[in-house]
Chain A
Amino acid sequence: MATEILMPALSPTMEEGTLAKWNVKEGDSVSAGDVIAEIETDKATMEFEAADEGIVGKILVAEGSEGVKVNTPIAVLVEEGESADEAAASVEKAHASTHEQGAGHPAPAKVADEAGPGGQAPAPSVPDDPEIPEGTKMREMTVREALRDAMAEEMRADENVFLMGEEVAEYQGAYKVSQGLLDEFGPKRVVDTPITEHGFTGLATGAAMGGLRPIVEFMTFNFAMQAMDQIINTAAKTRYMSGGQMSVPVVFRGASGAAARVAAQHSQDYAAWYAHIPGLHVAMPYSAADAKGLLKTAIRGDTPVIFLENELLYGHSFEVPELDDYAIPFGKARIWREGNDVTLVSFGIGMEYTLKAAEKLAEDGVSAEVIDLRTLRPMDTAAVIKSVKKTNRCVTVEEGWPVGSIGNHISAVLMQEAFDWLDAPVINVTGKDVPMPYAANLEKHALTSVEEVLEAVKQVTYR
Chain B
Amino acid sequence: MAKGKTNTEDYLRMYRQMVRIRTFEDNANQLYLSAKMPGLTHMYSGEEAVAVGICEALTDNDRITSTHRGHGHCVAKGAEFKEMFCELLGKEEGYCRGKGGSMHIADQSHGNLGANAIVGGSMGIATGSALRAKLQGADDVTVCFFGDGATAQGLLYEVMNMAALWNLPVIYACENNGYSEYTKTEEIAAGSITARAEAFGIEAFRIDGQDVLAVNELTQKLVARCRNGEGPFFIELETYRYHGHHVGDINREYYRSKEEEKDWKQNRDPIVRFRSWLVDQGIASEEEIEAMNAEIEKDATEAVAYAEAAKYPDAAEVDMHVYAD
Contacts and interface: CB of A to CB of B under 8 A. Distances in A.
A199 B99 contact: no
Interface in A262-311: 278-279, 281, 301-303
Interface string A213-252: 0000000000000000110011000111111111101000
B128 A206 contact: yes
Contacts of A212: 132, 135-136
B242 to A, nearest CB: 27
Contacts of A208: 128
Contacts of B158: 194, 196, 198-200, 202
A206 B127 contact: yes
A132 interface: no
Given A206-B129, A234-B124, A234-B125, A243 B323 contact: no
Contact of B114 (A200, A210, A242): A242
A240 B131 CA distance: 24
A3 B226 CA distance: 64
The winner among B116, B155, B323 for most chain A CB atoms within 10 A is B323
A245 B106 contact: yes
5 contacts: A199-B127, A202-B128, A207-B132, A212-B135, A234-B125
A242 B66 CA distance: 13
A251 to B, nearest CB: 13
Nearest to A300: B325
Interface string B194-218: 0000000000000000000000000
Given A199-B159, A199-B161, A240 B322 contact: yes
A120 to B, nearest CB: 38
Nearest to B127: A203
A342 B204 CA distance: 66
Contacts of A209: 113, 125, 128-129
A239 B321 contact: yes
B121 interface: yes
B108 interface: yes
B161 to A, nearest CB: 6
B231 to A, nearest CB: 14
Contact of A240 (B99, B108, B142): B99
Nearest to B170: A206
B113 A246 contact: yes
Range of interface residues on B (Cβ < 8 Å):
35 or more
B142 to A, nearest CB: 8
B95 interface: yes
B106 A241 contact: yes
Interface string A160-200: 00100000000000000000000000001100011010111
Interface of A: 162, 188-189, 193-194, 196, 198-212, 229-230, 233-234, 238-247, 249, 278-279, 281, 301-303
Given A206-B132, A242-B104, A303 B125 contact: no
Given A206-B127, A239-B323, 19 more contacts: A193-B162, A194-B162, A199-B127, A202-B128, A203-B124, A205-B124, A206-B129, A209-B113, A209-B128, A210-B128, A211-B136, A212-B135, A230-B121, A239-B324, A241-B104, A242-B99, A244-B97, A301-B324, A302-B325
Contact of A278 (B96, B127, B142, B322): B322
Give the 8 A-B residue pairs with the shortest CB-CB distance, closest first: A202-B124, A206-B128, A199-B158, A302-B324, A243-B97, A206-B125, A243-B96, A203-B128
Contacts of A162: 135
A302 B158 CA distance: 26
A243 B63 contact: no
A194 B323 CA distance: 31
Contact of A194 (B114, B123, B125, B165): B165
Interface string B124-150: 111111111101100000100000000
Given A203-B159, A234-B116, A245-B106, A279 B135 contact: no
Nearest to B161: A194
A392 B130 CA distance: 55
Interface in B149-167: 154-155, 158-159, 161-162, 165
Contacts of B130: 206
Given A209-B125, A239-B323, A246 B132 contact: no
Contact of B155 (A198, A211, A244): A198
A303 B95 contact: no
A200 B128 CA distance: 8
Contact of B135 (A207, A249, A281): A207
A202 to B, nearest CB: 1
Given A229-B121, A278-B322, A303-B325, A242 B129 contact: no
A303 B108 contact: no
B244 interface: no
Contact of B321 (A198, A229, A243): A243
B100 A242 contact: yes
A68 to B, nearest CB: 43
B170 to A, nearest CB: 10
A245 B95 CA distance: 9
A199 B122 CA distance: 11
B270 interface: no
A40 B293 CA distance: 82
Contact of A243 (B95, B126, B154): B95
B288 to A, nearest CB: 37
A193 B158 CA distance: 11
Contacts of A281: 323
Contacts of B94: 243
Interface string B296-325: 000000000000000000000000111111
Nearest to A236: B322
A211 B132 contact: yes
Nearest to B142: A206
B98 interface: yes
A230 B125 CA distance: 9
B118 interface: yes
Given A206-B124, A243-B100, A196 B161 contact: yes
A109 B67 CA distance: 52
Contacts of A196: 158, 161-162
B66 to A, nearest CB: 12
Contacts of A233: 116, 118, 121
Chain B CB count within 10 A is highest, among A188, A210, A239, A246, for A210
A206 B128 CA distance: 4
A330 to B, nearest CB: 9
B306 to A, nearest CB: 18
B108 A207 contact: no
Contacts of A234: 116, 118, 121, 124-125
Nearest to B108: A245
B114 A241 contact: yes
B135 A188 contact: yes
Contacts of B321: 239-240, 242-244
A242 B136 CA distance: 24
A241 B97 CA distance: 9
